[in-house]
Amino acid sequence: MAYGACDMTALGSSWKNAPHTRKYFYAGGHYADDGTGNHIFKDQVYVEQLTPLNGPTKPHPIVFIHGQAQSGTNWLNKPDGNLGWASYFISHGYECFIIDQAFRARSAWFPGNGSMATYSAEMIQQRFTAPKKYGLWPQAALHTQWPGEGLMGDEIFDAYYASNIQFIKDEGYEQLAVQAAGAALLDRIGCPTILLAHSQGGMMPWLIADVRPQLVRAIVALEPKGPPFQEAVFSNMSTRKYGLTDIPLTYDSQVVDPVIGLVKTVILSNSPNASTCILQADSPPPRQLINLKEIPVLVLTTEASYHSMYDWCFVKYLQQAGVKTDHLDLGKIGIHGNGHLVFMEKNSDQVAAEVRRWIEEN
Contact yes or no for 307/345 (Cβ under 8 A): no
Nearest to 1 by CA among 10, 122, 145: 10
Determine whether 163 is an active site residue. no
- Which residues, at least 6 apart from 74, have a Cβ–Cβ distance to it below 8 Å? 64, 66, 67, 84, 163, 198, 343, 344
Residues paired with 139 in a beta bridge: none
Contact yes or no for 308/139 (Cβ under 8 A): yes
- Give the DSSP per-residue string, 148-175: S--STTSHHHHHHHTT---EES-HHHHH
Q: What is the DSSP letter of 247?
A: S
Residues paired with 98 in a beta bridge: 48, 64
* Cα–Cα dist 336/92, whole Å: 24
CB atoms within 10 A of CB 268: 8
* Cα–Cα dist 64/323, whole Å: 21
* Cα–Cα dist 349/351, whole Å: 5
The active-site residue, picked from 71, 87, 199, 275, is 199
- Which residues, at least 6 apart from 265, have a Cβ–Cβ distance to it below 8 Å? 278, 279, 280, 281, 282
Contact yes or no for 292/216 (Cβ under 8 A): no
Q: What is the 3-state secondary structure (H, E, C) of 66-126?
A: CCCCCCHHHHCCCCCCCCCHHHHHHHCCCCEEEEECCCCCCCCCCCCCCCEECCCHHHHHH
Nearest to 140 by CA among 303, 302, 304: 304
Catalytic residues: 199
